[in-house]
Chains A and B, each alone.
Chain A
Amino acid sequence: MDVNAGKRLTRVLIAKIGLDGHNRGAQVVAHGLRQSGMEVIYTGIRQTPAAVARAAIQEDVDVIGISSMVGAHLAAVQKLMKELQKLKAADIPVIVGGIIPEEDYGALQAMGVSRIFPPGAEVREIVRYVHSLPEKGEGEP
């Protein structure tokens, strides 16, 4: 018997915030997560942090993945975190991938980013990481 039968699939929101139009990475990751059996929503490019936070809640996702290629990650993630707090959804883990200088890792982690995937990261690494996250509701009183 399939032990996963009836179990809710992991839901992931892959988003691009700001004006950056480079979408290859975001789409390849979204596609890879989908193929690994997760439910994935890709927001498309040029989203605002508020729209991403709203979509995350509306779609009841377990993880938010932000793809950033032109260096706007610090401002984008900071605003996203604020929006999530406003909507009382700061518990949704946020992961970030793309061209992120190492000197920004600390700042992103301090904002609450749970993991950063640099260029060359493999999709299966991301899959493994998402599966390793505690399931929704786990650990809550």
Chain B
Amino acid sequence: MDREEWKKLLSQDYQKRGRRKAVYHSESKIELADCYDPEELKKTGFDPDRDLGFPGTFPYTRGIYPAMYRADFWIMGQYAGFGNPEATNERFKYLLSKGQTALALALDLPTQLGIESDEEIAEGEVGKAGVAINTLRDMEEIFDGIPLSKPRQIFTTANGIGPIMLALFVALGKKQGLDPNQYSIVLQNDVLKEYVARGAYLFPPSPSLKFCIDAVEFCTRHIPRYKPIVICGSHMRQGGATAVQEIAFTLSNARAYIDEAISRGLPIDDFAPSMECQLSVPMNLFEEVAKYRAFRRMWARMLKERYGAQNPESLKCFIRVYTTGYTMTAVQPLNNIVRVTIEALGAILGGAQSLSCNAMDEVLSIPTQEAAHVALMTQHILAQETGIPDVVDPLGGSYYIESLTNELEKRSLALMEQIQKKGGAQKAIEEGFYQMLSRQSASEYQQEIEKGERIIVGVNQFREEREKVKIDSFKVEEGIREKVIEKLKRARTERNPEEVEKALRRLDREVRLGKNSVPALIDCALAYATISEMSQVLGKIWGFYREEAKWM
């Protein structure tokens, strides 16, 4: 049978059995064909030699390692935060004793924003989203009895204060008598996305961008084992961006960071291998799989063609994945286990290097122990029971997946072009371009739900009319803030005020001279200056950024 004959059969079938939708499209509004075949794929200009290659070879569409999960599974990293330093220390020791090899240090919001635990605005937030850290003393306590070299990797979410966290880790390593190249710290340190989603910025975009690159520059020159930046699309996606926007925003931000690093005289192949990316994975399974494949290919091509990178390590994009919050529902929360499973599947079929699964009840509260356990076991079930990891890039060559991959690349490149025309990522963010596009996408998503064009099970169909949503209250353990404040006060009295003063003055002087801030920040950390004191020095020079109220 030829294609034309089949098309006739197809339209007869539609006539006989109807069709569910007039038009079918992906999450990013790519119109979908009835069925993908060699001809559909040809329309996208697919060239297997150019677009695919082998796994572990340029352009890395099929994965960054030749053997992928046949050699080893992805890293199963679960994110968690614990109130005060003692509790975190206990938890870390427990996790290490159970064989966990990487630690994630979650920070509470005041810490992330350079606010001291005893400031009024910190009330109710101390120790909530993670641990409260004011000075090096807290770091010493968190890692008491845990040499930084013991876990394979320590990951932390400092962004606006990224280089300050770097300084605290370097200072802690010194206190523990370790060479900084004996252990590995991963800093998120991606401030640009904070202005689009997440909101943990301190200073205006331009000095903040340079501040982030201080950490990249310092690590590249002195501590190559650290990973000084993880460029994130996941938060912007959660904030409303589509898959195409997630790719284009993330890679445009990467360009801004890379350009700044190059302007400091760093050779691309010296720092690009240490950069990682973090992406989200909502429910539109095949588009998500294609997104990872397109993203890796675009990264590799950008690094090679635009920046002339030669080192294969520069061209391989290490991708961290978090399953998605906005796809989870507060009603019928057990259904979220199924959603997380499908999202995790997308990440694995897409070839992710690290995966964190949300707990089913995260939309309602800080996860319960049981829900967190199910989230981790979801990963083990996918790894051990399904056979999915046994073949490299199992969907490679699928007419559909390859077509979507090419189409996503094409559309993302067009959006990147638009961003460049606005003067690049920083300018586009300053004028609110990313924010406007994400807000539009989020609003469309909501409208589709309200019009019934997008079905969310349990929300606008299959509702349990009598169901009550059981949101847990967010009580931080009694007395945590008091304990943290007491320790902060003690740290303030135990330190040498002249040393603190001297270190802060050095920071002020060096930043005003345009020097890299990290060496002076390490001095400040060693003198037990607080994160807030360091931030205040910087804010006096750069100003603090405030979002303006706006008429919609």
Contacts and interface: CB of A to CB of B under 8 A. Distances in A.
Interface of A: 18-24, 27-28, 30-35, 39-46, 48, 55, 70-72, 75, 99-104, 118-120, 122-124
B439 interface: yes
B549 A24 contact: no
Contacts of A39: 551
Given A43-B549, A45-B547, A48-B121, A71 B442 contact: no
Contacts of A32: 443, 446-447
Interface residues of B, number: 48
Interface stretch (B47-55, B162-170, B192-200, B367-375): B192-200
B546 interface: yes
A123 B446 contact: yes
Contacts of B109: 19-21, 70
Nearest to B551: A41
Given A46-B547, A123-B446, A21 B198 contact: yes
Contact of B471 (A40, A42, A75, A100): A100
Nearest to B115: A19
B233 interface: no
B240 to A, nearest CB: 6
Interface string B323-350: 0001001110000000000000000000
B517 interface: no
A71 B474 contact: yes
A20 to B, nearest CB: 7
7 contacts: A24-B442, A28-B442, A33-B552, A42-B550, A44-B550, A101-B474, A119-B330
Contacts of A35: 443
Interface string B528-552: 0000000000000000001111111
A102 B330 contact: no
Interface in B111-156: 113, 115, 121-125, 128-129
B208 to A, nearest CB: 15
A122 B450 contact: yes
A24 B331 contact: no
B113 A19 contact: yes
A41 B549 contact: yes
B32 interface: no
B199 A71 contact: no
Contacts of B450: 122-124
A75 B123 contact: yes
Nearest to A122: B450
Given A42-B550, A119-B330, A19 B110 contact: yes
A51 B28 CA distance: 38
A49 to B, nearest CB: 10
Contacts of B240: 24, 27-28
A28 B443 contact: yes
A27 B238 CA distance: 13
B125 A72 contact: yes
Given A19-B125, A23-B239, A120-B329, A101 B547 contact: no
A102 to B, nearest CB: 7
Nearest to A27: B439
Given A100-B471, A119-B363, A55 B549 contact: yes
B552 A118 contact: no
A43 B550 CA distance: 6
A104 B473 contact: yes
Contact of B473 (A31, A101, A124): A101
Given A44-B546, A55-B549, A119-B363, A102 B471 contact: yes
B470 interface: yes
Given A21-B199, A101-B474, A123-B447, 5 more contacts: A23-B199, A28-B442, A28-B446, A44-B547, A99-B330
Contacts of A55: 549
Nearest to A59: B549
Contacts of A124: 450
B200 A21 contact: yes
A18 to B, nearest CB: 7
A75 B124 CA distance: 8
Contacts of B472: 101
A42 B459 contact: no
A119 B121 contact: no
Interface string B223-246: 000000000000000111000000
A5 B361 CA distance: 48
B239 A24 contact: yes
Contacts of A22: 199
Contacts of B447: 32, 123
A70 B199 CA distance: 13
B438 to A, nearest CB: 8
B16 interface: no
For the complex of A and B, 10 pairs with smallest distance between CB atoms: A21-B199, A71-B474, A44-B547, A119-B330, A19-B109, A101-B471, A34-B552, A101-B473, A40-B552, A31-B443
Contact of B442 (A27, A41, A101): A27
B21 interface: no
Nearest to A43: B549
A64 B101 CA distance: 48
Interface in B459-503: 459, 468-474
Interface in B37-93: none
Given A100-B471, A101-B474, A41 B550 contact: yes
Nearest to A15: B549
Contacts of B199: 20-23, 45-46
Contacts of A71: 124, 128, 473-474
A99 B364 contact: yes
A18 B473 contact: no
B550 A120 contact: no
Nearest to A58: B549
Given A101-B472, A118-B330, A42 B552 contact: yes
A23 B128 CA distance: 19
B549 A42 contact: yes
A76 B310 CA distance: 53
Contact of A70 (B443, B471, B474, B550): B474
Contacts of A21: 109, 194, 197-200
Nearest to B439: A27
Contacts of A42: 549-550, 552
